[in-house]
Structure 1
């Protein structure tokens, strides 16, 4: 009997609990869902005004001295000490002796050949007096001006045919040119500075034996430099010699003014680029310095310049219409490291000034600088 009472009470309790749960669920079925507040991002915008945009080509390279001489020896001899040391960094003025080799032995052979020439001419003087009295005086004058310690003077001009046969038959002309050849070679024992400059490389020292064909060093003019840069072939018809170029040192951020000195006439078949040479002068510059060049190529009419990260892969940019983001197609005409030049963007269009993370077409935004927003858009 007690068992039946307990079961009856539990049954009533279960029915009552189910009734209460059902009423609770029914009461909460029509409760309104919480409203998620809509987030509107604030963005920087700009009002498009198409203008003429100059295209600037960025390039870089290392400076090389425009005037450079590699020193080689054409003769053999002992390197003699000069008035200045033959060391890197040593400065020389135009005409000063860079290198002097011992030429005493060779100098003696030159003097011997000059003496033989003098004797050969002196030997024919009696015959000239008898057979060619009209030319005797000019040859006598030549002998009187002949100085073994100076450069051999040019032979008198031979005017008559008989005189030519007579002089040539005595070996005078061949002896003269033999002497001049020896004198030319004697001059190669001394190498002088072709311009005011500085020695950048020295491969020999005083007292060492220098052999024919041996490289001795390098000599440059440190006042004028050139930089070789590679430019896309598409700019081959717009770059001109003499155009100003702004050069920037990446180390100290200094600017230097240069100009286009030469443009290669051929295009590199591998890279499809042309080589442009930029000339620059400044006392702070050194050979081997790395500089960045900014070349003015051409001007693009009715275009704008924006950050590259504003251009989408689909060649579109975001615009703002009625506080919503939208996209329009554009035509990029030139890319630089950070900027891109665009065409086909109507004047008055409101575009982003800085990229917006997570942006999409239809996104609600708020312009930060509302003063630039046209009334029609507001």
Structure 2
């Protein structure tokens, strides 16, 4: 029985092997399917060389051209004035910004001025007797002396005798002591150096002010500057007083400015050069972030294309007889999204949009309608 079963299995295995071999032979004899060649449709553009303006983008924040950090040079109590010392407060030129109580120091100044007056008055009898020709000018000086006004300048001494006499009485040293005290007394009142606005206030009325303490910041809101850092390769292209177009980061407002200053040295660490753009506009505020476009120069016989069309080895794809080819080009300027190229003959057909998997020799079909054009001037 066992031998019969093994014989039947052997016959079945032989028959199955026969059919499998026949099926493999039949499949091998079938012709391979023909794969149709796919011709990609590409967007192209015809080169027409022209003059391309080289525009250098830059950005930065605005800082007031005239700004003053207010520091106290004397000590005392901050007195209330006609205007509150608060951020946003406007002042006219010469208007009092800060007034510190100087009553005690004022008394010492008046005392020193009184001593000077008394010293000069004490020598008048001697001047009348010994220097009668000099008496009158010193008498006129005493007549013009007012304790409530700034001490007038001492009369000019015309001879050595007069100089020795006046100096020997200690009048010259007393005079300069008084002038020094008056200079310090003036520091108790801080006036606005120009029409402007207070942007920072670090103290309030009634507070004790200490010498060296920062009190705030004051700016002129009519003129601003924007500092920009550019590559050293653009150093020769920057020109003072050249107009610059600026815009806010939302690209909703545009402003006109000009290059006011260019730094004479290059930053050794970053290899950049610093320039300053001056701009005037009532809508601008300190700290605003703006973008600038500097017209550096114009490049003749060039075209401008998207950067993603330029290959790594400074080559681009061109189309010849519906076949892609590669041409070497000369990039002369790169922006964030575009590149300016030279050495491309007029009439050359180039790709206008990148093609995935493109290679030299690839069959293509140019699209008849051109959705975008090469940026020409």
The answer to whether TM tops 0.5 is yes
TM, length-normalised to structure 2: 0.89
Query: How big is the shift at 1:371?
Result: 9.2
* Structure 1, gaps ≥5 residues long: 1-6, 373-378
* Cα distance in 2, alignment partners of residues 223 and 271 from structure 1: 32
Query: How big is the shift at 1:140?
Result: 1.0
CA RMSD of aligned residues (A): 2.3
Q: Which residue of 2 aligns with 1:321?
A: 320
* Cα distance in 1, alignment partners of residues 38 and 342 from structure 2: 33
Q: Which residue of 2 aligns with 1:173?
A: 172
Task: Tell me if the contact between 2:319 and 2:350 (Cα under 8 Å) persists in the aligned partners.
Answer: yes
Query: How big is the shift at 1:57?
Result: 1.1
Q: Size of the alignment, in residue pairs? A: 355
* Cα distance in 1, alignment partners of residues 218 and 328 from structure 2: 57
Query: How big is the shift at 1:200?
Result: 0.9
Query: How big is the shift at 1:78?
Result: 0.3
Query: How big is the shift at 1:175?
Result: 1.0
TM, length-normalised to structure 1: 0.88
* Cα distance in 2, alignment partners of residues 370 and 191 from structure 1: 71
- Deviations 1:243-264, CA, capped at 9 Å, x for gaps: 1111121135311111111111
Q: Which residue of 2 aligns with 1:134?
A: 133
**Secondary structure of the residue that 1:149 maps to in structure 2?**
coil
Question: Which segment drifts farther, 188-197 or 35-44?
Answer: 35-44
Query: How big is the shift at 1:358?
Result: 2.3
* Cα distance in 2, alignment partners of residues 255 and 319 from structure 1: 38
Task: Tell me if the contact between 2:45 and 2:370 (Cα under 8 Å) persists in the aligned partners.
Answer: no
- Deviations 1:63-86, CA, capped at 9 Å, x for gaps: 111111000011000000011111
Query: How big is the shift at 1:40?
Result: 2.6
* Cα distance in 2, alignment partners of residues 157 and 34 from structure 1: 118
Task: Tell me if the contact between 2:333 and 2:340 (Cα under 8 Å) persists in the aligned partners.
Answer: yes
Q: Which residue of 2 aligns with 1:95?
A: 94
* Structure 2, gaps ≥5 residues long: 1-7, 372-377
**Given the superposition, is the C-alpha separation of residues 90 and 252 from structure 1 closer, same or farther in structure 2, using an over 3 Å criterion?**
farther
**Given the superposition, is the C-alpha separation of residues 359 and 64 from structure 1 closer, same or farther in structure 2, using an over 3 Å criterion?**
same
**Given the superposition, is the C-alpha separation of residues 87 and 252 from structure 1 closer, same or farther in structure 2, using an over 3 Å criterion?**
farther
* Cα distance in 1, alignment partners of residues 251 and 56 from structure 2: 21
- Deviations 1:321-374, CA, capped at 9 Å, x for gaps: 0011111111112111000011111111011112122222222222223799xx
**Secondary structure of the residue that 2:187 maps to in structure 1?**
helix
Query: How big is the shift at 1:25?
Result: 4.5
* Cα distance in 2, alignment partners of residues 333 and 369 from structure 1: 30
